[in-house]
Every structure is written in C-alpha cells, then in structure tokens.
Amino acid sequence: MKLISWNVNGLRAIEKKGFSDFLNNCGAEIVAIQETKAHPEQLSDALRTPSGWYSYFCSAERKGYSGVAVYTRQEPLNVWYGLGNEEFDKEGRTLILEYADFFFINIYYPNGGQGPERIDFKLRFYDCFLQKSKELFKTGKSVVVCGDVNTAHQAIDLARPKENEKNTGFLPEERAWLDRFFSEGFTDTFRHFNKDGGHYSWWDYKTGARKRNVGWRIDYFMIDEKSAHRLKGAGMLSEVMGSDHCPIWIEMDDL
C-alpha cells in the first residue's frame, strides 16, 4: 500500500499544473493534501469528486487560507474534521480517517511566523495533536500521521542549520517537540530508511532555492513504533513540480 502527502500551496493553482494526472497515475491508495487554500464549493468537479476516489475536505473559516484534503481509494469507516478544539479547528488543519486496522491523520501544522504569539499557537497545536494521537494509539489500531510539520527536526534536515538557529521552523522549542513526539512511540519513516543529508521537501520560491537544493525537510510521514515493521520504503518525489514543496511517500504492507 502506497501513501502520499503533498503541500500543494493551493489546490486550484496546482490543478492548472497537471494535478489530476498526478493523482490518477501516482499509484497511491491514499493521497493527503495540505494548504488547499479553498473551500469545496470553489473547486472543479475534477478536484472535488475525481472518478475512482473518495474525497474529503477540511477548510479554514478564512477563505484562501490553510485547508487539507484526502483522496482515498477505499471508503473509510469514519471521518473527523479537526482535533476537537475550536481554536485550532477553525483554521482547517486536520482530517482523521478511520479504517479497519488503522487511523490516518493528515495535518497542516501551523507556521510559527508573525512573532511569539504564533509560535505559542503552533506549540499548543502540537500538544493538542499529540494528545489526540495518543488517544488513537490506545485503541490498538495503527496510527499513520502525515503532513507539513513546518519544523525541521535535526541539523541534517535543512541545508543551512547554523543560519536558521533563531528562525521559526528550527527553533529549539520546536525541535524539542518533535523529540518528544518521537519519544512517545512514533517513528520518522524517512529516517527509518535514510540517514543521509541533502534530502529536502521544501525550497524557498523567492530565492530559487530548489535549483540549488537549498531546502528544508519539513514534510513527514510518521507511524507508531509497533507498526514500523510493516514499512517497505519511504521517500520524496523531488522531481514532481508545481509547488514549493514536493510530495513525500511511504509504502507499507496492507494494514
């Protein structure tokens, strides 16, 4: 079973860049999208109800902002829109799908830009998400989490760690939260297979950083440790263009 996650930086924008072809030819059972920047009624039929897929959308109250979507070949047993916290859920950042043997969580985590208040919001969002993950973990089902985490975990996860030590996305308190999350029994699937540097999932548009591969690894698939043995592979589709992020993927035995 192949799963894909991609921050598309605008679902309507990427439709014009061949997204439907990508969706139908990627070979995935589930495709999670972050930063849709749209409400369902603003989307074309091809995006809202693509043939062969079940589709779910969680949008922000503010139009043109945030938003997540999931396309899945198999209809889930249940779908939850948000974490159950109004402060966070009004930004349309979370979709949780339940299947027979696992929970699939697609999240667009907040960016810590715009000052200390937003960093505090981001860290409280992280904590709320961790609590929800632990609740799902206790059900006995596997838990698969994906999305744009908006934090690079370790120095190896960005091209210029020294220059960014005081910038959001690589602050000590943000990185410490990821330490905590993994210590709670979750696995970074990419690092499960690859310990090398130079692999990034986001590049700054304005500086043309992608051509020089001056990037950050801020998009993650994470899985509970008891299910990690089912992983068959994890990687990035860095050749896929259309966004300032590239898609990431995992492949695993059917759950």
Structure tokens at 240: 């896929």
Cβ-contact 63, 87 below 8 angstroms? no
Close Cβ partners of 16 (under 8 Å, ≥ 6 residues apart): none
Runs of H (alpha helix) within 32-159:
45-48, 86-89, 116-137
Describe the crossing of helices 172-183 and 116-137 by its angle, rounded to 10 degrees.
0
CA-CA distance, 118 to 75, in Å (whole number)?
36
- Is 148 assigned a catalytic role? yes
Which residue carries 């744009």 as its tokens?
Answer: 148
Of 21, 89, 148, 179, which is the active-site residue?
148
**Distance in angstroms (rounded) separating the CA atoms of residues 160 and 74:** 41
- Taking the CA atoms of 201, 215, 161 and 163 in sequence, report the sign of the dihedral they define: negative
Give, for 180, the enclosing helix (H) or strand (E). Answer: helix 172-183
Alpha-carbon dihedral angle through residues 160, 210, 20, 103, given to the nearest 10 degrees: -10
Residues with catalytic roles: 148
